[in-house]
Structure 1
Amino acid sequence: MKWLSAVELPSPQQGAAAVDIRSVQKIYTTGAGEFEALRGVTLRVETGEFVAVVGKSGSGKSTLINMITGIDRPTAGEVWVAGTPIHTLSENQIAVWRGKTVGVVFQFFQLLPTLTALENVMLPMDFCNVHQSSERPERAKKLLELVGVGEQADKLPANLSGGQQQRVAIARCMATDPPLVVADEPTGNLDARTADSVMDLFRDLTQVGKTVVMVTHDEDLARRTNRIVTVSEGCILTPIGGWHG
């Protein structure tokens, strides 16, 4: 897609936090009136942190994640990710920025069913025009090997177990070497043993300088991260590990 290559992004601030959300408010207009999903939230996540976001359904967790990934925009406030003010970007700029900066892991994997595991991992590289075309298959294979499913490279998602599909999804999220990984209930459909291995993979990512923000309902898994951020009724309730707001 040529337009992706032509879109320019602002130069990121050097030495900035991985995530820096400043007084963010998000209001949705519904048939029943306005609904304030986030109420002046401030949150800073440093590079290399593994942070769990917890809270009841409807608390604002998903809206907070949508701010970080650029899927949604704040009504007020600022969202800085890896030194880039994404609240100021155009839709085209956000598409390019997201592809190169954020790897997203979903609960239901979101793998394309007609593509093999290898092709699913190559897709972000093709979309964002990252790495030489001739290098992409080998890089995708190495990523699959890194998450323990290299031997499944030529299989379609339907022929993989849930745990294997989630590992492919994690490999895919790393395809463009993003500094930030955002995982939305990544272990929700996995057995306990596979969930443990996924957590180990995320921790391994932080050991090489990546930042991981994970939404989870599992308190035991949340305790295995560096810091827990609790969201309730659009506010952050529990500052742990140095968060101020």
Structure 2
Amino acid sequence: MLGKWLSAFVSSDLPQPRQAAAAVELVDVRKSYVTEAGQFEALKGIRLQVDAGEFVAVVGKSGSGKSTLINMITGIDRPTGGEVWVAGTPVHTLTENQIAIWRGRTVGVVFQFFQLLPTLTVLENVMLPMDFCDMYDKTARPKRARTLLDLVGVGEQAHKLPANLSGGQQQRVAIARSLANDPPLLVADEPTGNLDSRTAASVLEFFKELAAKGKTIVMVTHDNDLASRSGRIVTVYDGQVLTAERSERGRHV
């Protein structure tokens, strides 16, 4: 019901996506904040292109602008200037209501701290994006959610509350939830920051498998070893893209 109400409320007319050569394209993106010390430029004319099916790791020191960059791509924050295109949609032109529906259908977001709703079961957490965007037949949603939980290896936890799962299991549930509406783009912000090294490695392997099947993945990480397992490393420094290089290890691992 909530999904139907939202779909009716939002100006259904999201801009028609253009034929896009890239899954993600940032054109001269700038972001400024007003602070007590004056204006702070978090992003300074970022230009970045990510192709469909790429697995890109974004690295940089704390305060370099990498999380702000990710927030531009997901529509969580808006650029002060420049253009943000995702799957052919001009995200920078969308209204707040349009962004909510667009994000639910187009971008799967994985957070460091899982962000699972504690009063919902694991299965209900994964179904939530489908309910929110009114995706798939209502009777088909539980089966799809269960299939996704099986895919990430926690199907047997479906009817438990998140608090009864380990950190690694909760992150797997969060990944399943991010895939609920089959979005073309998966964005992960420090997804392994609260996981042990073995679990983190398994999450990275799963991301690689998703990319091999056509998903575009953009991941922020402070771990250079994990970043090296991606297909390309984008280094952000002082609000600018310093380098965007192929990961040799990512080609062969």
Q: What TM-score results when the alignment is normalised by the length of structure 2?
A: 0.94
Number of aligned positions between the proteins: 242
Q: Give 5+ residue unaligned stretches, structure 1.
A: none
Alignment partners' CA distance in 2, 1:134 and 1:239: 44
Which residue in the other structure is 1:222 paired with? 227
Alignment partners' CA distance in 2, 1:206 and 1:173: 14
Amino acid at match of 1:65: I
Amino acid at match of 2:134: N
Which residue in the other structure is 1:107 paired with? 112
Alignment partners' CA distance in 1, 2:144 and 2:183: 14
Which residue in the other structure is 1:82 paired with? 87
Amino acid at match of 1:4: L
1:136-185 per-residue CA deviation (whole Å, 9 max, x = no partner) reads 00000000000000011011111000000000000000001000000000
Distance 1:15 1:36, change over 3 A: closer
Alignment partners' CA distance in 2, 1:48 and 1:28: 33
Which residue in the other structure is 1:25 paired with? 30
Residue 173 of structure 2: which of 163, 168, 177 is its match? 168
Which residue in the other structure is 2:7 paired with? 5
1:188-241 per-residue CA deviation (whole Å, 9 max, x = no partner) reads 010111001100111111111100000001000000000000001101111314
Deviation at 1:3, TM superposition (A): 4.4
1:149 equivalenced with 2:154 (yes/no):
yes
Q: Give 5+ residue unaligned stretches, structure 2.
A: 248-253
Alignment partners' CA distance in 2, 1:192 and 1:88: 40
Which residue in the other structure is 1:72 paired with? 77
Amino acid at match of 1:182: V
**Aligned-residue RMSD, C-alpha:** 1.1
Residue 179 of structure 1: which of 177, 184, 194 is its match? 184
Range that drifts further, 15-24 or 183-192: 15-24
1:49-76 per-residue CA deviation (whole Å, 9 max, x = no partner) reads 0000000010001110000000111111
| Percent identical | 73
Residue 64 of structure 2: which of 55, 59, 62 is its match? 59
Deviation at 1:30, TM superposition (A): 1.3
Deviation at 1:14, TM superposition (A): 2.1
Alignment partners' CA distance in 2, 1:154 and 1:14: 41
Q: What TM-score results when the alignment is normalised by the length of structure 1?
A: 0.97
